[in-house]
Structure formats: structure tokens, C-alpha cells
Structure 1
Amino acid sequence: MNEMAMGCARGEDGQPKQALSVTVADPTTSTIMYWQVGDFMPKIAHVHRMSIPNHKQPTAEEAAEQTKRSQIAAKTQRHDEVRVENLGSKTVAGVLAEGMRTVRTIPAGEEGNDLPLEVINEQWTSKELGLTVILVDDDPRRGRTTVEFEDLSLGEPDPAVFAAPAGYKVVEQHQEETVVAQ
């Protein structure tokens, strides 16, 4: 489930009201449903049936091999120095995760830089879940971005998460036709 702010509009009372766009991917039914939430938004949930790929996380060995291949490709195009570090394992959000860090050094002058630049990517992956639980991108050209699971529930999700809100009309989108349900 992904909720994203879409901005604000003035409601009937003249006060600004926030609108949200909600997208829910349900791999068990191969559907993606999306709707908008806000006082001034239509109460329609759109459902698309599609194939949602099952992405398997590579093992540490496979990740190292992929990194090595990309290093060779990068070196033929640029003069970057790349090194890969195994960070071992640690518990993140209650699950065991294996860490890998890739450090890429961009030589001085390669991108108009006076000094070498170090770009660090760190990834912590749960083999059991096939899920990246921490991702860190530290690039002096863009800054540091960290994505981390803080509260991970291993139980079955509440079925209400995969349903449109009460009062919404569900519209199934097909390539050739639109079918209205409810």
C-alpha cells in the first residue's frame, strides 16, 4: 500500500483540504487498486488485473557477482574505482538481514569535480523474506537517502487494507472494456 499527498484544494467550508492518492498492490489476486481520498475527490476505486512479478532477492554471492559484472562494465566506460564490502548480518525490524556495501570512487575531473567523489550504497536484505529492509544511498551530488522498515509485521495483513473504503464505487479496468462492480 502506498499513500501519497496530491496537494490541497479548498473545501465547501473554504478551508484547505488535503487530497491523497492511494495505491494497493495485492499479489494474491494479481490486482492493483487505486483511489483518491479527499472531500472534493470522486469516490471511485479503480481495479486493474495484471501480472505482478515475484522478485526474488539475490543471495549474497549472486549480488557480489552482479556487482562485479557491473563494475567491469562501469570501468570500461569510466575510470571509477568500485569496491564491495560484506557487512555481515544484523536484526532489522525483527528479522535477520545480510548487509552489502558498494563504494564507488569517481576520480577528480571525471564529472567536473576537483576532488574524488565517494558514492556509497548500502543494502540490508532478509533472505527469509526476500525483502530489502534497509537501503542507503549516500551520494555527495544528491545527498543521503535512507529507506528502512521500522515496523514489520510477519502476520497476515488485515484484509481491509486490500479493499476500497466504504462508500466507494469499485470500477474494474480491462484493456477493452470497463465493468462497474457494486
Structure 2
Amino acid sequence: MNEAPIGCTHAEDGRLKAVLAVTVFDPTTKTILNWQIDDMVSKVVHVHLMHEPNHKPPTAEEAAEQMKRAQVAARTQKNDEVRIESLGSKTVAGVQVEGVRRVRTIPAGEEGNELPMEVIDEQWSSKALSLTLLRIDDDPRRGRTTVEFEDLSLSEPDPAVFAAPAGYKIVEQRQVETTVAP
């Protein structure tokens, strides 16, 4: 489930309030539900039924070719210098995580910059959960962005959280084809 602001609108009292877009992916029923939480739009839940294409794993030759292409792409990338540092472990949202920092140096003149620029990507992940709980991207061209789990429950969630809100009309959409990454 993802709930994210997509803009603002004025409430009846004149104050600004967020317009939220909600997306729920349910692998059990193979559906994606989308709706907006906003008094100004119609109360409609769009249900997308999915089907998975026939996906076969790549052959050994195809996998080798994909790896070779990735290595060539990495070598032919810009002249940026990348430094990777282990940050050890710490606890985020009650979960033990391991940190890695990638520092990419963009050479002077590469993007109109007079001096070298450092782009820092810090990632704190739980191997047990296969989940990144904290990510900090610090790029002088775009600023600093931090995404962090503040509260994490490992118990089964209430199914009502993922259901369409009461009073919303349900509209079924055409099928969406999903792809499985190799």
C-alpha cells in the first residue's frame, strides 16, 4: 500500500489540505486498487486486474550476455569516480540494519561545475527483511532527500486498511500486464 500527497486543495474553511493518492497492490487477488482522497473529486476506486505473462528464466548464455552488457555499460559510464564505504550497523524503527554509503564524484567541468561535486547515497537495509529502512540522497544539484521508516510493525495488518473506503464506487479497469525482472 502506498499513500502519497499529489497536490493540495482548499478545504471548506479556506485552509489548504493535501490531496492523497492511494494505491494498493494485492498479490493474492492479483489486483491493484487506486483512489484519491479529496472532497473535490468523485469517490471512485479503480480496480485493475492483472495477469502475469509467461516468464521463463534466461538461459545461461542470455544471463552471461546480460552481465557482459552491464559491465560494458558500467565501464563506459561518465568519468565519475565512485567510492563505497561500509557504515556498520545500527537500529532503525526497531530493526537491525547495515549501512552502505556510495560517494560519486563528478569531475570539474562535467556538468558545468567549476569544482568537483560529490553525490552521496546512503542506504541502511535489513537483510532479514530484504528492506531498506533509511535512505539519504545528498546531491548538490537537487538537494538532500531522506526517506525513513519511523514505525514498523511485523504483525499481520488489519485487512480493512487495504480495502476501498466506504461510500466509494468501484470501477473495474482493463487488465495490466506485469513483468518479472530477471
Q: TM-score range by the shorter chain?
A: 0.7 to 0.9
Report the CA distance shift for 1:73/1:40 in structure 2 as closer, same or farther (over 3 A). Answer: closer
Report the CA distance shift for 1:51/1:150 in structure 2 as closer, same or farther (over 3 A). Answer: farther
CA distance in 1, matches of 2:93, 2:3: 19
Structure 1 contact 75–81 (Cα < 8 Å) conserved: no
Report which stretch shifted further, 128-137 or 41-50.
41-50
Report the equivalent of 1:140.
Answer: 140
State the Cα distance separating 1:161 from its structure 2 match. 1.4
CA distance in 1, matches of 2:71, 2:164: 45
Report the equivalent of 2:166.
Answer: 166
Structure 2 contact 45–164 (Cα < 8 Å) conserved: yes
Alignment of 1:88-107 (within 5 A): 88-107=88-107
State the Cα distance separating 1:42 from its structure 2 match. 1.3
CA distance in 2, matches of 1:131, 1:81: 27
CA distance in 1, matches of 2:122, 2:71: 16
Report which stretch shifted further, 22-31 or 97-106.
22-31
SS at match of 2:76: helix
TM-score by length of structure 2 reads 0.75
Q: What is the letter of the counterpart of residue 96 of structure 2?
A: L
Report the equivalent of 1:127.
Answer: 127
State the Cα distance separating 1:144 from its structure 2 match. 0.8
State the Cα distance separating 1:167 from its structure 2 match. 1.1
Q: Structure 2 unaligned segments of length 5 or more: list them.
A: 53-68, 177-182
Structure 2 contact 45–170 (Cα < 8 Å) conserved: yes
CA distance in 2, matches of 1:70, 1:102: 19
SS at match of 1:101: strand
**Overall identity of the aligned pairs, in %:** 64
Report the CA distance shift for 1:21/1:102 in structure 2 as closer, same or farther (over 3 A). Answer: same
Report the equivalent of 1:114.
Answer: 114
Alignment of 1:44-59 (within 5 A): 44-50=44-50
CA distance in 2, matches of 1:109, 1:133: 35
Higher relative contact order (CA 8 A, sep 6+): 2
Alignment of 1:78-97 (within 5 A): 78-97=78-97
RMSD: 2.7
Deviation string 1:85-135 (CA, Å, 9 cap, x unpaired) is: 111221111111111111111111222211111111111111111111111
Q: What is the letter of the counterpart of residue 4 of structure 2?
A: E
Report the CA distance shift for 1:83/1:165 in structure 2 as closer, same or farther (over 3 A). Answer: same
SS at match of 1:161: helix
SS at match of 2:112: coil
Structure 2 contact 30–50 (Cα < 8 Å) conserved: yes
Alignment of 1:28-39 (within 5 A): 28-39=28-39
Report the equivalent of 2:24.
Answer: 24
